[in-house]
Amino acid sequence: MTDDRSSTPADEQRSDPTASGDTEPIDAGDEHETGDAEFTIADFHDASQREGRPVLTAAAVSRALEMPHEEATERLEALADRGELQRHAVSTDPVIWYPSELEDLTDRERVVVFPKRREIVVDRPAQFTRAQLSQFAHLADGNGEQGYRYVVRPEDVWGTPHDTFDELVRTMRQALGQRSDQLEDWVESQWDRAHQFRLTTHEDGYTVLEAQSPEIMGNVARQKLDEEHVHAPISETEDWVREGAEAAIKRILYEAGYPVQDHRELESGEELPIDLRVSLRDYQRTWVDRFTEAGEGVFVGPPGSGKTVAATGAMAHVEGETLVLVPSRDLAQQWADTIVEYTSLEPHQIGQYHGGRKEVRPVTIATYQIAGMDRHRSLFDDREWGLVIFDECQHVPSDVYRRSTHLQSKHRLGLSASPIREDDRQTEIFTLVGPPIGTDWEALFDAGHVAEPELEIRYVPWGDDEQANAYGSADGREKYRIAARNRGKIDEVRYLLSAHPDAKAIVFVDYLEQGRDLSEALDVPFLSGETPYHERRRLLEEFRRDERDLLLISRVGDEGIDLPTADLAIVASGLGGSRRQGTQRAGRTMRPAGGALVYVLATRGTREEDFARKQLQHLGRKGMTVRERTVEHDAD
């Protein structure tokens, strides 16, 4: 059962071809499933596409698919015998071949599988195919001319919603329209890994770790775990788990490449009847169903896709007292408003717990900051929580993680707008909160649930020689800082605002000095960490009520402040943070209101330009349209 070829998540990250910038053309043909026995109509379609014609001779097929002429003829005949191809013989010319359903060629989605790279490329996928694919793969590239590129990683297999491997294979075959033995074998090995261990609840109430076989128990669990985690063996395949050690066990085994199935009976906490006052969208219902089945999980969707609303659906399912952890006070207020708007709960049942207020009520919304403090640790135990929600769970600070390990017996739900898995947070999220539950973002854009922003990166020249010279002689981070604060960006911001006179706009900056300069030049208030909380709230409120149409925000704006009606965002600096920040900033304006535009400014010919380009390629892969423009001195 143990498969040495399978890798741990860490290995996988290193060998992930997308991570190493592998940009090999997808049509390279090196891995086409043209194995000896298999020659399918899809191969014929490949050949027609390469030849640019729907009707082919055997010679053309042999050329396109690089196989001997004789072999091509043989295979074409076999396909014709199966009724998938038609032949047409013209007395003096070679026989020509075409698909039995010629219209296929224009309508049908083409699926090409690259089993070694575990990639699937689909042309014009139908909604159904996308939904199927997203159950075992994730969309890595949705914007290229090469079609949609899906990648299957171990975590994708580990998190599938299927009960049996056979069901999973059925979904795969439906999605791919073909069998790929090599891919299926690999998926099976990952499936096996994820089904070696499970946590269950003994009838006497304690937790048991069960292994599929005595060998896996002996060779993996009992090597990795010690008395800190388990009391004593119950049998060759079962260990009695120490209370509170569940999270550590899940983490250790996950890191060893054996994610643990969590089948414990979860506590539902003190009862709290909740009715929903909104009808969930189909994809939200799927999210909630998957959460319901597992009792844990992370909703992953772009900003504005309705994760918070779907979370109220999860609350209505658990119907237990709920603790919501959020990154900022502003978000705490928004959660309280959303819960009142979309559920039958009354305002007096909802408490907020942060620097400003200390209310613990049946539904309590607390900030991570407070939740991480020793003197507020009782928050976790004050009531019998049945559900703990981690909003923006990619930001959960490590002290909160440490503190929340004992929440393993509750239902756990994470929300995240950043499906980026480039750091080890992924392990923590997966083991402490749960596996990702996602939808392919493109599908949400297509269905009109989230407006796709137009994203434009503008390369701006230096505003004056002084800064350009300073850049030349600076080094390292200083170079980046100078480029970020290029005074030429002030004119550019002005130009963009004047080009969109009716837009409600937000300008993001990363440097206080730049924010102050812009604030003065544009005569708008600047919201930074230095702005008092009530002042920040007031400005945001005014913006929300359409009493203001321009805001200038520093990093502070990044942590979950909701600006629902912004329809223009200018990132004047600050793409230099993490990818995630870039995603969030761009996402800030992705609201159902639609028509959002995002401009990102980068100083021409500097590191900032390189950086922005990389970031935006990433956003492009997430399904946004990205455009680049070089600004001449007279803003165009």
Please state, in angstroms and rounded to a whole number, the distance separating the CA atoms of residues 307 and 294: 17
User: Shortest Cβ distance from residue 498 to ligand ATP (Å)?
Assistant: 29
Q: Is 281 in the site for ligand ATP (CB under 6 A)?
A: yes
Options 284, 286, 439, 583; binder of ligand ATP; rule CB under 6 A: 284
Rounded alpha-carbon distances, angstroms, from residue 463 to 281, 286, 476, 553: 48, 51, 21, 22
Within 387-426, the residues that bind ligand ATP by CB under 6 A are 417
Beta bridge partners of 592: none
- Stretch of residues binding ligand ATP (CB under 6 A), selected from 158-166, 274-282, 473-481, 532-540: 274-282
Is residue 438 part of the contact set for ligand ATP (CB under 6 A)? no
Distance CA 142, CA 151 (A): 11
For position 328 contacting ligand ATP by CB under 6 A, the verdict is no
| Other C-beta atoms lying within 10 Å of the C-beta of residue 127 | 11
Residue 435 as a binder of ligand ATP (CB under 6 A): the answer is no
Looking only at the bridges linking them, the beta strands covering 85-88 and 96-99 are antiparallel
Stretches 112-120, 145-153, 163-171, 298-306: which one binds ligand ATP (CB under 6 A)? 298-306
Q: By CB under 6 A, tell whether 593 contacts ligand ATP.
A: no
Task: Specify the stretch interacting with ligand ATP by CB under 6 A; choose among 59-67, 132-140, 222-230, 301-309.
Answer: 301-309
Give the one residue of 57, 73, 134, 305 binding ligand ATP; rule: CB under 6 A. 305
Q: Is there binding between residue 340 and ligand ATP (CB under 6 A)?
A: no
Q: Are 313 and 276 in contact (CB under 8 A)?
A: yes
By beta-carbon proximity to ligand ATP, the closer residue of 136 and 299 is 299
| Residue 514, token pair as written in the block | 């730049």
Q: How far is the CB of 280 from ligand ATP (least distance, A)?
A: 5
How many CB atoms sit inside 10 A of residue 443's CB?
A: 19
Distance between CA atoms of residues 39 and 542, nearest Å:
64
Query: Are 85 and 41 a contacting pair, CB within 8 Å?
Result: yes
Among 147, 303, 372, 463, binds ligand ATP (CB under 6 A): 303
Cα torsion angle, 327, 332, 333, 336, sign: positive
Smallest distance, Å, CB 577 to ligand ATP?
Answer: 18
Query: What is the separation, in whole angstroms, between the first and last Cα of the chain?
Result: 63
Token pair for 292: 């319901």
301 in contact with ligand ATP (CB under 6 A): yes
| Contact range with ligand ATP by CB under 6 A, out of 147-155, 304-312, 423-431, 508-516 | 304-312
Alpha helices in 9-57 (DSSP H): 9-15, 41-51
The rounded distance, in Å, linking the Cα atoms of 202 and 235 is 13
**CA-angle at 314, arms to 308 and 316, nearest 5°:** 110
Among 55, 309, 470, 512, binds ligand ATP (CB under 6 A): 309
Size of the site for ligand ATP (CB under 6 A): 15
Q: Give me the least distance between CB of 290 and ligand ATP, in Å please.
A: 16
**Residue 307 in contact with ligand ATP, rule: CB under 6 A:** yes
Backbone angles phi, psi at 209, to 5 degrees: -100, 120
Considering the rule CB under 6 A, would residue 306 count as an interface residue with ligand ATP?
Answer: yes
Least distance between ligand ATP and beta carbon 279 (Å): 6
Which residues contact ligand ATP (rule: CB under 6 A)? 278, 280-281, 284, 301, 303-309, 417, 562, 592
